[in-house]
Amino acid sequence: MSVVSAVKRANPAVVSIVITKDVPVLEQYYDNNSSFHDFFGGGLFGGFNFQIPQYRENGTEKKEVGGGSGFLVSQDGLIITNKHVVEDPNAEYTVFLGNGSEDKYEAKVLARDPVLDIAVLKIEGTEDFPFLEFDDSDHLELGQSVIAIGNALGEFRNSVSVGVVSGLSRSIVAGDGRGGSEQLDEVVQTDAAINPGNSGGPLLDLQGKVIGVNVAVANGSQNIGFALPVNLLKGVIESVQKDGKIVRPFLGVRFVPVTKELKEANKLSVDYGVLIIRGENRTELPIVPGSPADKAGLEENDIILEADGQKLDETRSLPTLLRKKNVGDTLKLKILHKGSEKELDVKLEAIPE
């Protein structure tokens, strides 16, 4: 399928998200009791009546404060976008479809993912909505052609850019533009133009199927954008459809990655895995009481070497493996406990609310 055909197929299900909020209305006034004249007296400025403008709040007004992108994933109006696009609980979110009409829908935020930069919205309509299908992001290849669609700069709806898969399984620290940041693992790198406002839009293959969610762009660079692989979304959607919220499994340990430097500094016997350790504060326990890790018998200073047979090192992190599991799944761990290797089965539970 050509780029044009893929865009025609996908475009109706790509949405623009407009963020509005009640903001203060400031009015200017002049204080006739200003101390300016009193301060200077009638000397140098004698004969002149200076008034200093003042400002005060006079109610509020609804104002557009931002925008983003998203895409429909079900005919009943479920929409995927980035969590940072809809993170303000006091804002209102309006959705415009990509069919060229000016029809707008008030969107309700159903769930914000506690782990990934993903959120699920819901709109209501009298007819079935168009929606996008998912491809298998585990089978992406370097150089594969991709298409990004989104609300570029929060102004140009359903803008299309084309590029290739430039990298796979990247790890980046993404900022939200407001001082916050988060670690993103196994993201897809692309040279398709991704701009502010494109966040939450789909990254598509030439079949018009979703292979990723546009999530970040490298500041100070050209043609370096990143997308969350779509396979991470499948459990999110199933969870919302089943439970009305995003349910994530957790292990319940605090840890640091074991590196060569950490091994040498602490005379450890291995230079990979994760070391279970308490935080800087006394309240930051190494293992959450009553958690799956606690029930399985994990202890402080244990080193988790493998999870489900996969070695934990700089190319494969424990959080990444956990994201692929569901609540109720069993995670098989190989650990180093007081110098001896042992294996444990841990039954994962939902992150406490």
Active-site annotation, residues: 84, 117, 199
Q: What is the DSSP letter of 24?
A: E
In 3D space, the residue among 258, 255, 162, 157 whose CA is nearest the CA of residue 205 turns out to be 162
Beta bridge partners of 2: none
Q: Provide the 3-class DSSP secondary structure of residue 245.
A: coil
Cβ proximity of 215 and 253 under 8 Å: no
Contact 213, 203 (CB under 8 A): yes
Burial 133-168 (b: 16+ CB within 10 A, else e): eebebeebeeebebbbbbbbebeebbbbbbbebbeb
> How many distinct helices (H) and strands (E) make up the chain?
6, 20
Does residue 295 sit in helix, strand or coil? helix
Q: Give the type of residue at 97.
A: L
